[in-house]
Amino acid sequence: MPKIVGGIEVYMGPQQLNGPDNLLKAIIDFIDGSQSSLLIAVQELDSTPIAESIIRARQRGVLVKLVLEADYLFEKDAVQNPFVADGEHEINRQLHDAVLRSNINVRSDYNPHIFHQKFIIRDNQSILTGSANFTDTDTSANLNHIVIIHDGIVARIFGREYREIQQGHFGKLSEGADPKPEEVMVSNVRVKTLFAPDHSPEMEIMKQIAKARQGIEFAIFTFANSSGIDDQLVLAKQAGIPIRGALFKSQANQDWSANKTLQDAGLSLSLVPRAGLPEPRPRKLHHKLMIIDKQLIIAGSFNYTGPANQLNDENIIIIGDLDSTDPDSIQKQKELAGYALAEIDRIITEFG
């Protein structure tokens, strides 16, 4: 069962890897709960059940708009017979066509960098975001998280970003300056959303790390030396802050990875998946997740890399406030963060 505190829901999964929550069901239930509108921005859609739920919403009269990364809709190399459906991303194109045939507004980004968003705005009152793409692998074979916020102001913040995306103002093509990121109290817990590249999420993450006093835990798909976050973690370690985390092994072994820098500084790191794991084993550790002082969650689509900060279209959502002195707020923050932290513990123990 997800951790639900007022209008905030945190899901960790998938259940196929012994995680506590069914990520596919969480996405479909969120879509099926729509009554008036669904604004969807996601890197990839290859899950037939999710596509069917989107089409169901349109069939019952919901206004539906969808933006996808174009890289999953065309072939890098032309196939010999383009009239035969046998390309690498054929399921993506089939679902794309089915959505179009359902009279749904679909746009694809052709930015050379990555449209990496994963969020839905429902009825201008709720949002779903996290690390999971709307794919079979991300909802069943990759370690991921989902966050749902029920709040009209948070939905409005995401809605403003969605309008920019629809107009083609994303990534390096972003025009103008977004307002300063807003902080919203949802069920007496601070929620702050930042979008890359407009808000430079890297700096916000570094700022939150600098406030740590008790400990930092993380699970990250891609963590590069270019991020600057690795330097902040090294400084925190030198200040005596306990730090441990999990990295996806194939990414961590790359020359550009922060893995060696962090290990040389004495951080406790686990690489996932390790060789010889019993089944079920994860295909990828796909989280972009950090917990600070067992109280603050940093979640969303944002990998810790230079391109994610400067070029890609991304988001992070911060749940909690390390400066809070309100006992009720602190207790709620710790409930939510404790749920995410338990999953990081499990990942390190079972797969690291």
Consecutive H or E run containing 137: helix 136-140
Can you tell me the distance from the alpha carbon of 34 to that of 56, in angstroms, rounded to the nearest whole number? 10
Residue 274: predicted pLDDT = 79
Residue 232: predicted pLDDT = 96
Q: What is the largest CA-CA distance in the chain?
A: 65
Question: Which of residues 65 and 175 earns the better pLDDT score?
Answer: 65
| Boundaries of every domain in the chain | 3-174+182-351
Q: What is the DSSP string of 246-289?
A: EEEHHHHTSTTBSHHHHHHTT-EEEEESPTTPPSS--SEE--EE
pLDDT in tens, 135-150: 999 999 999 999 999 9
DSSP 8-state code for residue 87 = S
Fold adopted by 3-174+182-351: Endonuclease; Chain A (3.30.870)
Q: Token pair of 84, please?
A: 């035969």
Mean pLDDT of 221-238: 93
User: CB 253: neighbour CB atoms within 10 A?
Assistant: 12
Can you tell me the distance from the alpha carbon of 227 to that of 309, in angstroms, rounded to the nearest whole number? 8
Percent of the chain with pLDDT strictly greater than 70: 94
Question: At what angle are helices 229-238 and 201-210 packed, to 10 degrees?
Answer: 0
pLDDT in tens, 16-34: 999 999 999 999 999 999 9
Residue 135: predicted pLDDT = 95
Q: Token pair of 44, please?
A: 């990839």
Strands (E), 124-186: 126-130, 142-150, 183-186
Q: Are 5 and 332 in contact (CB under 8 A)?
A: yes
Q: Token pair of 352, please?
A: 């690291």
CA distances to 257, 305, 333 from 216, rounded to whole Å, are 19, 19, 15
DSSP 8-state code for residue 181 = P
pLDDT for 111 beyond 80: no
pLDDT for 173 beyond 70: no
Q: Token pair of 200, please?
A: 């430079």
| Residue-averaged pLDDT of the chain | 91
Q: Are 319 and 147 in contact (CB under 8 A)?
A: yes
Residue 208: predicted pLDDT = 97
Q: The dihedral of CA 28, 30, 33, 37: what is its sign?
A: negative
